[in-house]
Amino acid sequence: MQCKDIADRPLLEFIAAKEREKSGWVNWWDFEGTTYYGLPRNLFLAKMGRLISRGLIDGCACGCRGDWEMTDKGKAALREGA
């Protein structure tokens, strides 16, 4: 499996929903119990890094706690059906 095999939209939707629920950043442990939690950590972090580099989310993909959040570009992508 590679980063390209992980769909952007469901991941962005999860981050957006979790952000609203928590009123704050999404962290690594917020994915516990989801299909993403079962991915190898390095693959998941690589995907998050790709989303960051594309400007869809902001945060850290070094393996710390993440602090991921949607960017305006990411929110627009969800609205536009990306």
> Using one digit for the tens of pLDDT, what is the confidence trace for 48-79?
999 999 999 999 988 888 899 999 999 999 99
Interatomic CA distance for residues 5 and 67, integer angstroms? 23
- What pTM, to 2 d.p., does this model score? 0.89
Q: According to the model, what pLDDT value does residue 2 have? A: 87
pLDDT exceeds 70 at position 82: no
User: Mean of the per-residue pLDDT values for the chain?
Assistant: 90
Q: According to the model, what pLDDT value does residue 38 have? A: 84
Our separate counts of H helices and E strands in the chain read: 3, 2
Q: According to the model, what pLDDT value does residue 47 have? A: 95
